[in-house]
Amino acid sequence: MKKEEIEGKLQELTVNGEHLSPILPEGIKNYLIDIDGTICDDIPNEEPERMATAKVYPDALVTLNKWYDEGHVIFFFTSRTEAHRQVTEKWLNDHGFKYHGMVMGKPRGGNYHWIDNHLVKATRFNGKFTDLVEKDVKIQVFDDEYNDELND
């Protein structure tokens, strides 16, 4: 599935007669995956000469390609800059990663807190890719009417 094919899978969303941002079909996930320290060696932008020879994490390659083959959307979301795009794409392709696109320039420093009008799930990478499992966790939400209903 190419990036253009993703657009074809999107479903229109209408609420109270108003068109909203389209959504993917049930069961299809939009994976945003970091590169450095997640699918390969952790290489800072200040050492771009190492990017071409980064060691791939084999379980990342197998898992991400499996998700791609299952029809999920795979995008890399990296702190690497546009200046690193060519070496990064070559490295991904040379190692056989299947993906739909790449978003460069993710803010550096970690401690991310994503706020979006769509459902967001986050998984912290701790050194090994496996199948995902469900866990009950404590999260921060806005103090509003919608989130009050979640507690009922």
pLDDT recorded at residue 47: 97
Q: What is the pTM of this model?
A: 0.84
Provide mean pLDDT across the span 83-91: 98
Q: What confidence tier does 21 reach under pLDDT thresholds 50, 70, 90? A: confident
- Which pLDDT does position 117 carry in this prediction? 81
> Based on the structure, what is the number of domains in the chain?
1
List the Cα angle 127/55/68 in 5-degree steps. Answer: 70
Q: In what order do the strands lie in the sheet with 30-33?
A: 30-33, 73-77, 101-103
What is the rounded average pLDDT of the residues 122-126?
85
CA atoms of 40 and 88, how far apart (whole Å): 11
24 or 55: which carries more pLDDT confidence? 55
Confidence (pLDDT) at 148: 66
Mean pLDDT of 101-115: 91
Tell me the C-alpha to C-alpha distance, in Å, between residue 148 and each of 108, 142, 143. Answer: 33, 9, 7
CATH of the domain at 65: 3.40.50
**Which single residue is written with the structure tokens 């890399």?**
76
Domain holding 37, by residue range, is 3-150
d(CA 61, CA 77): 16
